[in-house]
Structure 1
Amino acid sequence: MNNEKKPSLPILRGLLFTYCIENTKNLEREEIISSKNINDESELSELFHTLTKPEFLSYREDEQKWFIETIENYLSTDESLESVFHLFDTYFEDEILDKRRFIKVLLDCLKLYRLELNDTKT
């Protein structure tokens, strides 16, 4: 029996919940989020390094791989990724202009975190 999890866009909302207004009030986090230009890849990467990395690394290895495989799967299709952001109010100052690029930057960061984790194990 195959225990692999199938790609699922809704899980990305869970990973991005850090940036959601519905998340617990935390002024420091809100200031970090609103200070970044999320349409600039380097600032977006900095934001992910600061806020997404610790959460991502708290997940089990199979969950981390599931996030990465899900993103890779949907980026390989024509999926607009709009459903990830639908009804998702964030602390971002700006509207995300290119949602696929946003998710691609996220993917690159998650892969980097996995590499760093693997490097520390060896």
Structure 2
Amino acid sequence: MKNLYKIVDVKNLLFVFDIENTFDLERERLIVEKNINDPRQLTELFDALLKPEFYEYTDAEQESLIDTVDHFLKEDDDFDRVFNRMTTYFDDEVTDRPSFMRTLLGCLKKYRSEKNSGY
């Protein structure tokens, strides 16, 4: 059976960074302070805001998200369907979207591994 990958799942995961999300000055400040084009700072941002969100997903949903991001990276997707439909708190434009997504994928895999090992 072939998996059906939906880019909207990635967009939904990144909703935590969207202006349409609940108004939260602390979250907004944290997002704006980070250089989202620097993988280290982006990882710090993901760890602070995305990790708790990711842990709310079921195991199957977490695996599906990891597989979905991986699939679109392997397809050389430009991720326009994610970023062009979001208005974020990011202070800068994401200059290298595949790099952003590779950082995201690495973080999701790390979170999944931590969860499985009990951290």
Q: Secondary structure at the match of 1:93?
A: coil
| Alignment of 1:112 onto 2:110 | yes
Where structure 1 has 5 or more consecutive residues not aligned to the other structure, the ranges are none
Number of equivalences:
119
Equivalent residues in 2 for 1:24-39 (5 A)?
Answer: 24-39=22-37
| Alignment of 1:10 onto 2:11 | no
Normalised to the residue count of structure 2, the TM-score between the two structures is: 0.95
The equivalent residue for 2:92 is 94
What is the Cα-based RMSD across aligned positions, in Å? 1.4
Letter in 2 for 1:114: R
| Alignment of 1:42 onto 2:64 | no
The equivalent residue for 2:83 is 85
Distance 1:16 1:41 in 2: 16
Where structure 2 has 5 or more consecutive residues not aligned to the other structure, the ranges are none
CA displacement 1:66-91 (0-9 Å, x = unmatched): 10000111111121111111131100
Letter in 2 for 1:116: E
CA displacement 1:72-121 (0-9 Å, x = unmatched): 11111121111111131100000000011101100000000001011118
Letter in 1 for 2:29: E
Letter in 1 for 2:108: L
Distance 2:15 2:74 in 1: 24
Distance 1:43 1:8 in 2: 27
Q: Structure 1 vs Structure 2: percent identity of aligned residues?
A: 43
